[in-house]
A and B are shown apart, each in its own frame.
Chain A
């Protein structure tokens, strides 16, 4: 009883203070409307923004396209009509609203299919690459569970693949996590010897999200064909960036994502081979849309945007690639010119140019990222960027703990400018030099002491 009383009075108090807070907010807004030069926040130009306790003078330059990419205006232009008058449910068979949406969805399906060299009938729209990966791994293994008990994947896969595998492991399936070399590439001989008679799936991502290395997908496909094992690849980071062909790669399943190729968030696709047919157990049951593999109303505007993004990617791939490669070279040379102890994580030869993952020796990664508030970069995957742990991908490469802690992933995309790259170089160099000046480790290295030989006292 007493506790109830206390709770209710507390609630009243809270409500009151919230009310006051609200009033205060209103009053400052009113004050700001009167020209007040001392007021920061609004009227951008020279004052800037305050967010999470950090003052930033303008919107940071964006170098994190592996996390997500901005929507291309041409994509948005294709989507907008389907947010307005063309709002029909594509599964409505009885009226024009449904028909026009259905037509748009089928057109988008063809656009996605042609970018990957597939038939439109082999494309299933999902909510994104995570869902596609879940359907691929859990769906295939559940469908063939009577005969197949073993999955092969790699240590550097995306979290959603690894987590799906862990889920299967708890159900009694056997998982092999293939190690990668120091360049991030898997050893094909190890893959070959890991395949067993009861292997039901091999899942290897095409382009790594953190370090950007391109796996030898074609060769993996050949090995899988030889042993007649279905091959799944997570191509979320590869789509629209490197030439992609389901026949050449011999994939049975492939996960695709919309928001990595300047399309909308919340849409992706799964490629499911028809010949030889691969079957999956659906993760979501319902109205039987997308041939029952992924029930739920297909979001027409998102799918139209994804289709437009794919068509655009096909047209622009060569142009974008040429430019992104030049910008990557400019960034790497610019940083290396002024700083020593910069290491590129992952293979430099087998890499998608838009991803440059660098480690800076003798600085602390978190301080570096905090100091780079005007550059939107991340230490690795956005999914794990909240934790202070070094990335598991870098650890799988055998990168030393201290170097793994200082990694920064620079993502270059279609809309990145030369000026942004130059600014990023300046800011990074400035920040690293500042941190190194403060670092006793760097001083010792300069004096010729090998820090690996130091016996640190234990407390």
Chain B
């Protein structure tokens, strides 16, 4: 990212990227479903890691807007999922011991 035009623009977009990452991770935690929560977190981290070496400003911008769209979806769906959360949690979230 360092090679791109002005340092100020880079700094600004870097702050934007980090804020998007934090928002996505925060939204991931709001999913009551164990699997969706884990997936949203993992997919977010992997996508940011995959894009961390993007330097071309236009591809940075497109990745950023794509991420923002994903955040909107995640925010809406976290609400929908919490409206219909089952009253029993996944056994993966319970104490880890063999119960059979």
Chain A residues packing against B (C-beta within 8 Å):
42-46, 48-49, 56-62, 70, 73-74, 76-77, 80, 319, 371-374, 414-417, 419-420, 423, 426-427, 430-431
Contact = CB atoms under 8 A, between A and B. Distances in A.
Contacts of A59: 86, 88-91
Given A371-B100, A431-B100, 9 more contacts: A42-B87, A59-B86, A59-B88, A61-B91, A73-B40, A73-B73, A374-B99, A374-B100, A427-B98
B73 A430 contact: no
A206 B80 CA distance: 36
Interface stretch (B9-17, B31-39, B53-61): B31-39
A323 to B, nearest CB: 9
Interface residues on B, range: 20 to 34
Contacts of A371: 100
A57 B91 contact: yes
B73 A77 contact: yes
Contacts of A416: 35
A45 B98 contact: no
Contacts of A73: 31, 36, 40, 73-74, 77, 80-81
Contact of A48 (B40, B42, B88, B96): B88
Given A374-B100, A415-B35, A58 B80 contact: no
Contacts of B90: 58-59, 61
B49 to A, nearest CB: 12
A417 B92 contact: yes
A389 B35 CA distance: 33
Contacts of B99: 57, 374
B60 to A, nearest CB: 19
B77 to A, nearest CB: 4
Interface string B42-72: 1100100000000000000000000000100
Contacts, number: 84
A46 B94 CA distance: 8
A61 B33 CA distance: 11
Contacts of B38: 415, 417, 419
21 contacts: A44-B87, A44-B88, A44-B89, A45-B89, A48-B88, A58-B88, A58-B91, A58-B92, A59-B86, A59-B90, A61-B91, A61-B92, A73-B36, A74-B73, A77-B77, A374-B99, A374-B100, A415-B39, A417-B35, A427-B98, A430-B98
B35 A56 contact: no
A48 B40 CA distance: 26
Contacts of A415: 35-36, 38-39
Contacts of B81: 73
A43 B87 contact: yes
Contact of A56 (B70, B77, B91): B91
A212 B42 CA distance: 26
Given A45-B89, A74-B73, A417-B38, A58 B98 contact: no
A77 B76 contact: yes
A80 B80 contact: yes
B100 A373 contact: yes
Nearest to A426: B98
B23 to A, nearest CB: 16
Contacts of A42: 87
Contacts of A56: 91
A61 B90 CA distance: 7
A64 B8 CA distance: 50
Nearest to A74: B73
Contacts of B40: 73
Nearest to B78: A73
A427 B91 CA distance: 12
Contacts of B98: 426-427, 430
Nearest to B81: A73
A44 B88 CA distance: 4
A286 B74 CA distance: 40
Nearest to B87: A44
Nearest to B100: A371
Contacts of B87: 42-44
A420 B90 CA distance: 10
A155 B26 CA distance: 50
10 A-B pairs with least C-beta separation: A58-B91, A44-B88, A73-B77, A415-B35, A77-B73, A59-B90, A417-B38, A415-B39, A58-B94, A44-B87
A348 to B, nearest CB: 27
A61 B93 CA distance: 10
Contacts of A48: 88
B92 A419 contact: yes
Contact of B93 (A43, A58, A372, A373): A58
